[in-house]
Amino acid sequence: MEFTAVARDEEVQEGHALRRLVGGEPVALFRVGGQVYCIDDTCTHAYASLSEGKVNGRIVTCPLHGGQFDIPTGRPVHLPVVEAVAVHPVRVEAGQVLVGYEPASEDDDYE
């Protein structure tokens, strides 16, 4: 797993989302209870950007149909969402937020 710097620690604010790309894919960063979390930015229901949704504590509400996800776990907590979003590991080092991801291998394109 590789970690890449995606933001300064102070950029990730409680009650707000921050959209970034990691490995070419959109992710959303959140601060919940002082800890930074990273989930896929794309809702599993209708593919809207979760970073554009409303954040209330540890819950993010999809701006399209109102489905809700628990930010720390990625699990759905309110319909119409039934499938979790991926959660990515986060480290904060020297004031930088680093997100872990598995780079796609060349073998992933051929099955």
Query: What is the residue type of 26?
Result: P
- Angstrom distances, CA of residue 55 to CA of 33, 103, 110: 13, 29, 39
Q: Does domain 12-89 have CATH number 2.102.10.10?
A: yes
Return the pLDDT at 111: 45
Residue corresponding to tokens 């890449």: 4
Domain boundaries, the chain: 12-89
Question: What pTM did the predictor assign?
Answer: 0.89
Token pair belonging to 109: 């394109």
Would strands 96-101 and 90-93 be described as parallel, antiparallel, or unpaired?
antiparallel
Residue corresponding to tokens 């020297």: 94
**Average pLDDT, consecutive stretches of 10 residues, N- to C-terminus, the chain (111 residues):** 95 97 94 97 95 97 96 97 96 97 61 45
